[in-house]
Amino acid sequence: MTTDTFRSRPGGSTPLTPPSPTRLPAQAPPARTARITGRQVALGVGIGAALAAAGSAATTVLARTLAPGWAHTEGPAVLIVAEVYLAVIAGLIMAAGGPRDAARLLALRKPSARQVGSALAWAVAAAVAGLAVSLVFSPLTGGPAATLEAIVRDASDESRMPAATPLVWALIVIRLVALTGTAEELLFRGALYSWLRGRLSVPMVIAVTTALFALEHGYYPVLIPVVAAFGLAAGWVRHRTHSTAATIPMHVAIDLAMFLAAVWLA
């Protein structure tokens, strides 16, 4: 384990200190910071992928065998997506050595209420900044209204909502509240941030994790400005609080906002 002072490397750039919507209170870093290894990160991703594949196959077979009518609805697809996020969480925890070690290695430290409030303010600022960039380029995507509708559609389950059953609605909400934000934050601001921080300066780690986070959402190009803005904000919050438990509420808040916007549009 290495001592982490959470400062840029000597001779490097100064710490990333963008103007904040509210001053984010810093949390003192632990005297000794446990770092997840590259092997553990790769193992976690591998275990998660294996669990996701097994769960998806089992769900598909069981749905077609036991509930053929339900198998042709949106239900199995929504359930499989939820299983994928759950598999990512389980894989990272298993690779870290269990829940207790995962709490250390993935930086699941309890933030203060003030830090959570400031983190949520950063989430709002990031969303506004990302949407502003999207609107600047909206002539390329059909105009402001069409661009905003595309962002909401691609960032939510809007296409599934008209025909959604109560079970599908429940799965969507459970995934948004408990799985999506948790899985992605543990991966990007938890495992990858911790591993890269032992090799790179804070600004570089934030830049790299943001780029990877945006790449994961690259299949929806219209989302990239919002995703990139959120990644930068979440990386800054992770640096200041030393906790992914502060960035998870940010992620959930953005996802819920998109969900509510989709409900309104639907």
- The per-residue pLDDT for range 88-119, each reduced to its tens digit, is 999 999 999 999 999 999 999 999 999 999 99
Tell me which amino acid residue 162 is.
P
pLDDT score, position 17: 47
**Cα 245 to the chain's mean position, in Å?**
12
Distance of CA 172 to CAs 51, 75, 112, 123, Å? 20, 10, 29, 21
Does 86 reside within a domain?
yes
What is the pTM assigned to this prediction? 0.88
Does 99 reside within a domain?
yes
Does 117 reside within a domain?
yes
Does 1 reside within a domain?
no
Does 23 reside within a domain?
no
Does 22 reside within a domain?
no
Does 27 reside within a domain?
no
| 3-state SS assignment for residue 17 | coil
Handedness of CA 132, 138, 144, 147 (dihedral sign): negative
5-17, pLDDT tens digit by residue? 434 444 444 444 4
pLDDT score, position 126: 98
User: Is 212 within 8 Å of 190 (Cβ atoms)?
Assistant: no
Q: How many domains in the chain?
A: 1
Only one residue has tokens 């296409």, namely 159
pLDDT score, position 93: 98
Distance of CA 90 to CAs 76, 118, 142, 179, Å? 20, 29, 41, 11
Question: Which domain does 100 fall in, by range?
Answer: 38-265
> Is residue 39 classed exposed, middle or buried when 0-12, 13-18 and 19+ CB atoms within 10 A define those classes?
exposed
| 3-state SS assignment for residue 23 | coil
129-176, pLDDT tens digit by residue? 999 999 999 999 899 999 999 999 999 999 999 889 999 999 999 999
| DSSP character at residue 148 | H
Residue 211 pLDDT greater than 90, yes or no = yes
Q: What six digits make up the tokens of 192?
A: 């990858």
Percentage, residues of the chain above pLDDT 70: 88
pLDDT score, position 34: 78
What number is the average pLDDT over the span 192-218? Answer: 97
What number is the average pLDDT over the span 8-35? Answer: 56
pLDDT confidence bin for 221, thresholds 50/70/90? very high
pLDDT confidence bin for 33, thresholds 50/70/90? low
Does 15 reside within a domain?
no
| DSSP character at residue 198 | T
Distance of CA 249 to CAs 8, 11, 102, 130, 239, Å? 27, 35, 18, 18, 16
Q: In sequence order, which residues have a C-beta less than 8 Å from that of residue 121 and are 6 or more positions away?
A: 20, 21, 22
Between CA 208 and CA 246, with CA 250 as vertex, the angle to 5 degrees is 80
pLDDT score, position 15: 46
pLDDT score, position 32: 56
Give the range with max mean pLDDT: 9-13, 22-26, 177-181.
Answer: 177-181
> Among 11-15, 75-79, 176-180, whose mean pLDDT is lowest?
11-15
Mean of pLDDT over the chain: 90
pLDDT score, position 137: 93
Between CA 220 and CA 153, with CA 56 as vertex, the angle to 5 degrees is 25
User: Is 229 within 8 Å of 126 (Cβ atoms)?
Assistant: yes
